[in-house]
Amino acid sequence: MLLLRPPGVYRVDRDTALLTDVLRDRVRGRHVLDVGSGTGALAIAAAQAGAASVTAVDLSRRSAAAAWLNSRLHHVPITVRCGDLFTPVRGRRFDVVVANPPYVPASDQSPTRYRIARCWDAGHDGRLLLDRLCSGLPEILTDDGSALVVHSEVCGEQATIAAMAAAGLDARVVARAVLPFGPVMRARAALLEARGMIVPGQRVEEIVVVAGERR
Ligand SMILES: C[S@@+](CC[C@H](N)C(=O)[O-])C[C@H]1O[C@@H](n2cnc3c(N)ncnc32)[C@H](O)[C@@H]1O
């Protein structure tokens, strides 16, 4: 898919692709929210797969602008909002929430100041955004709504399943892919080894898509 990507906006990667494959079968006729939309790749895929409506939210103004431009480029109607997580759509409900949030463990706990690193840095355990996202699901999902979230095994699939369960969702892993570390994970390998988050010498990670459905 041709996507405009200004500097500082996440380049579509293998996690985007894995989640895209999963969401295509689950969004027809549904109202979809893509949180942390970057270029809008997931939002556009949802619209092309027959979603009833698609809303994309990103904290970064450049990403929101890119998602809007890309939706026009691909002739799909997407509503784009800029802001933190669910704040720009507070009070609304969606049938399906899709997210490829920042999930790479970082040396700092607080969100980074650097624009591009905001796409992946996610606190010491990689769960800074993931846990906020999971705990916010009850307020954003319709009664039969579901969430599709992609992340690395390094920040814990069981932790996501437990966080979704605490939010009233039945959750399980619906897709997996073992992939060599990309440049960010390679650069963090020593930190992750020192923290015991990967075994010494490990340079592959499993990417998982966790699906949660409201009970
Ligand atoms: C890994 S990128 C994913 C981009 C796109 N969804 C994809 O799969 O290609 C994570 C995105 O989350 C955005 N983001 C980071 N913190 C956020 C927050 N608190 N609220 C909304 N978006 C956020 C980043 O700007 C970035 O675009």
Q: Which residues contact 6 (CB under 8 A, 6 or more apart)?
A: 62, 65, 66
Asked whether the whole model's pTM tops 0.95, one would answer yes
Q: Which residues contact 190 (CB under 8 A, 6 or more apart)?
A: none
Give the pLDDT score at 110. 81
The pLDDT score that the predictor gives to residue 113 is 66
Question: What atom of ligand 1 comes closest to residue 37's alpha carbon?
Answer: 6
Q: What is the pLDDT of residue 108?
A: 87
pLDDT at 8 (0 to 100): 94
Q: Whose CA is nearest to atom 6 of ligand 1?
A: 37
- Ligand 1 centroid to 75 CA: how many Å? 22
Ligand 1 touching residue 167 (CB < 6 A) = no
Ligand 1 centre distance from Cα of residue 9 (Å): 9
Q: How far is the CA of 189 from the centre of ligand 1 (A)?
A: 22
What kind and span of H or E run contains 9? none
Q: Give the pairing of strands 53-58 and 31-35.
A: parallel
Q: What distance lies between CA 202 and its chain's CA centroid? A: 24
pLDDT at 109: 87
Residue 136 has what pLDDT? 98
Compute, in degrees rounded to 10, the torsion defined by CA atoms 159, 161, 166, 169: 160
Task: Give me the half-sphere count of Cα atoms (radius 13 Å) on the Cβ side of residue 26.
Answer: 22
Distance 58 CA to ligand 1 centre (A): 6
Q: CB atoms < 10 A from the CB of 133, how many?
A: 24
| Number of residues that this document lists for the chain | 215
Q: What is the mean pLDDT of each run of 10 residues along the chain (215 residues)?
A: 95 98 98 98 98 98 97 98 98 98 92 81 96 98 98 97 98 98 96 96 98 96
Query: What pLDDT was estimated at residue 198?
Result: 97
Q: Is 38 in the pocket of ligand 1 (CB under 6 A)?
A: yes
Distance from the alpha carbon of residue 25 to the mean position of ligand 1, in angstroms: 22
